[in-house]
Amino acid sequence: MIMDQDLLSIQEARDLSTRAFDAWKVWAKASQEQVDRVCAAMADAAFKAAERLGQMAHEETGYGVVAHKRLKNEFAARNVWESIREIKTTGVIRHDPAKKIYDIAWPMGVVAALTPSTNPTSTVIYKILIAVKAHDAIIIAPHPSAAKCSYEAAAIMARAAEENGAPPGLIACMRHVSLAGTQELMSHKYVAVILATGGTPMVRAAHSTGKPAYGVGPGNVPAYVDRTADLEKAARYITASKSFDCSTICATEQAVVADKPIAARLRELMVKEGAYFTNEAETERLRGLLFTPDGGMVTSTVGKPAVHLARLAGISVPQGTRVLVTPLKKVGRDEPLSREKLTTVLGWYEEDGWEAGCERCIELIQFGGRGHSLVIHATDEKVIMAFGLEKPVFRIAVNTMATLGAIGLTTGVFPSLTLGSGGVGGSITGDNVTTYHLFNVKRLAYELTPPPTAAFSLDAGSQSQTVSAEEIERVVRSVVQEILNQKH
C-alpha cells in the first residue's frame, strides 16, 4: 500500500509539472495588467477565506490558535500583496539613461514550493502570490499532516486566478503526498527553482537536487532585554509573541537574555502577562517531555498551549498561563531547552551588561539559529547598533515582537513567510524571500565608450620579434645548399 501511494505521488508530480510548464509558456507572455488583475483576485479570495482556512489548519494539524492562524492568512493575502503590488515584473522594469542599460524581467518558470505543517495555509497563499506575480507557475508540495488545508488554500487561489484569465494548471497542489513524490517534483526537468520552507531535512533535500533552491534553516531567536528597555512593553511583547499561534513561527523568541539589573523586575512583569517560571524539577520534566535523547523535538508537543504542556509534564500552573519560562545556565547539546522550541516554552538567561548579553545571544545563535533572527529591547542606540553590527543574523528586530517583526507585519522589512538565513545559515539569501527572488533580470547594454586601439590589432596578444641579418643569411645558405644537393 505504501508503494502504491509512492507511485501515485510520483505520477502526480510528473503530471502537474508537465501541465504547469505548458501553462507557464502562456503565462510568461501575460501583460503586467493581466498579472496584477489575477494576483489581486487571488489575494482577495484568500483574505475572505482566511478564517475558514485557519480553522481547517488547526483541525488538521492540531497546532496553534485559530484566531492567530486567521491573522497569518490575512497577512499572507493582504500584506504580502500590498508589498509586491507595485513591483514591475513584465518587460522593461528599469532604465538607466546615463549608463544606457535596460533591465528586462525574465521569469524562472515552474516553482516547486514545499510548505510546512506549522504555517500551512498562510505559506501556500504567500508563495502562490509571489510566484504568479513573477510570471511563474507553481506547484505546492504540502506537509503530509497538512495536505487537506494546503490543497484547499491552493484551490481557492487557482479558482480565482482562472476566473480572471490565468491558464489552467498554472497553480497546483499535490494531493497524493509522499517523500518519493516530493523528490520527483523537485528533480523534474520542468521545475526551474525550489522554494522550501520547513524543517532541516526538507531544506537539505531541496539543496541536494542540483536545482536553484531557496531554503531556510531553523530559528533559535534570542530576545535581549537591556537595562535601558521599556520593561513593561518588553514583558508584554515577549509573552504575547512567544504564545502567538503557540510559537509555530520560526522567528518566535526562543530564549530571553535579561540584563542582570532589570532581570527580577522583567520576571515580575512577565508573570503578570501570563508567564510561569519553572523550578529545577519542573524544568527537568520539560526537558524530557519536549525532546528525544538525540535532540529532536517530540512532535506531539509542537504548537501546544502552555497549560496543555504543563498538564503533560505534571506541573500545576495558574489559570491563564500563556508561556512556560525555564531558567537555564548552559547552551548546547547538554541543555535541550537551549534549542529551538516550536511551542510555548521559553528559555531564560541572566547576564550582567550588554557585552555579556551579546556573547550569550551569539552562543544561542551559533548553536541553532545561524543567520536567522534576533530581537532587542533597548533605548540605548549604541547598544542597539552594536547588536546590529555584531550578530550573525539577517533580521534584528528592535522593540517589537520577534514573531511579527521578522515577517514584516510590525516592521518595514518585506512581508514574507520564508526568511532567508544567508550563507552563514546555509541559504542562498539572507532576505525575506519575495517576488524579486523568483524572476531573473536581463540587461540590454549600449556602448558607452569605444574600444581601445589595442583591441583592433591583428597580433594583439603576442610580442613583436626582430630577425637579424645573420639569421636571414643562415636560412638562405641552408636553402641554396639543399637545392645544390638535389642537383647532384
Closest CA to 442 of 91, 105, 29, 17: 105
Q: Choose the catalytic residue: 39, 173, 250, 361.
A: 250
Q: Tell me which DSSP letter residue 392 carries.
A: S
- 246 noted as active-site residue: no
Q: Is 387 in contact with 376 (CB distance < 8 Å)?
A: yes
Between β-strands 101-107 and 439-445, what pairing exists: parallel, antiparallel or unpaired? Answer: antiparallel
How many other C-beta atoms lie within 10 A of the C-beta of residue 368?
Answer: 20
Secondary structure of residue 233 in the 3-state scheme: helix
Give the full edge-to-edge strand order of the sheet including 439-445: 92-96, 101-107, 439-445
Q: Is 166 in contact with 136 (CB distance < 8 Å)?
A: no
Between β-strands 213-215 and 191-196, what pairing exists: parallel, antiparallel or unpaired? Answer: parallel
Integer Cα distance of 449 and 461 in angstroms? 22
Integer Cα distance of 228 and 203 in angstroms? 39
How many residues make up the chain in this entry?
488
CA-to-CA separations, 304 to 58, 154, 300, 381, in angstroms, rounded: 11, 26, 8, 36
Between β-strands 101-107 and 92-96, what pairing exists: parallel, antiparallel or unpaired? Answer: antiparallel
Catalytic residues: 250
